[in-house]
Amino acid sequence: MLLTQDAHRYIKWPEPHEMVTSERKFRQLHGFPGVIGAIDGSHIAISAPKENPANYINRKGYHSIILQGICDYNLKFIDVFTGICGSVHDARVWRLSDIETLIAQDENIYFQNQYHLLADSAYPLSNYMLTPYRDNGHLTNVQSRFNTIHSRTRVVIERAFGMLKGRFRKLKYIYMYNTEMIPLVIFACCILHNICIENEDAFIDDAFDAIEMENNIEFMNGVEKRDIICNML
């Protein structure tokens, strides 16, 4: 069993005018253009379920349920998907998620082609999801710089998870044998997290000066797009 019987998705994807603001705010952080969100997975530790407990053991050796989150520059979640057993790889969680299905149906609604998410190397490279170059010991200076700026920009999702678990300590370990209820708890915490930020109950770092995007990267695939941005940074 990969999913609990009640996996959940929450989405508050930005409207077109909000994407413009989000892209500008992300670009102000470290100069990375075109970003409207960062994605990653986080393991929520749980007590061993009564049914199929081995499926919930993650690579670090403890029982968990995965929370896949996409956040904006302000550490707010624009999409969360949770309920997948901890043994599942991030890339497969992405393939199982509702947001991946929705994007596949109409990519332009979510990205309007020039926008993209930042993800780590566990995720697939595409024109709307940019991952770092794999370091095989032969990266060029510009590729290394791309990876550095990519990492510094993408760290917002790590900060979002950290803030979420810091504010809602129950997410550090959920003691519930009924796994069908756990996604509801996680889901509720993510919504409350967003409400807290909307009410300015959060510290947000000062942004750096913006760097203007100089190239038209519309209609390019992930490899071409990443290479162009790499040489811009």
When pLDDT is cut at 50, 70 and 90, the band that residue 113 belongs to is low
- The per-residue pLDDT for 205 is 40
When pLDDT is cut at 50, 70 and 90, the band that residue 136 belongs to is confident
Cβ atoms of 70 and 84 within 8 Å: the answer is no
When pLDDT is cut at 50, 70 and 90, the band that residue 208 belongs to is very low
The whole model's pTM is what?
Answer: 0.84
Quote the DSSP letter at residue 169. Answer: G
d(CA 53, CA 211): 49
- The per-residue pLDDT for 131 is 98
- The per-residue pLDDT for 173 is 92
| pLDDT tops 80 at residue 217 | no
Query: How many Cα atoms are found within 13 Å in the side-chain-facing hemisphere of 55?
Result: 12
Return the minimum-mean-pLDDT range out of 8-12, 136-140, 145-149.
Answer: 8-12
Mean pLDDT of 137-143: 93
Nearest alpha-carbon partner for 126 in 40, 220, 13: 220
d(CA 140, CA 142): 5
Share the mean pLDDT of the chain: 86
Nearest alpha-carbon partner for 139 in 217, 214, 227: 227
| pLDDT tops 70 at residue 212 | no
Rounded percentage of the chain residues whose pLDDT exceeds 70: 87
Nearest alpha-carbon partner for 111 in 79, 153, 68: 79
Mean pLDDT of 79-99: 95
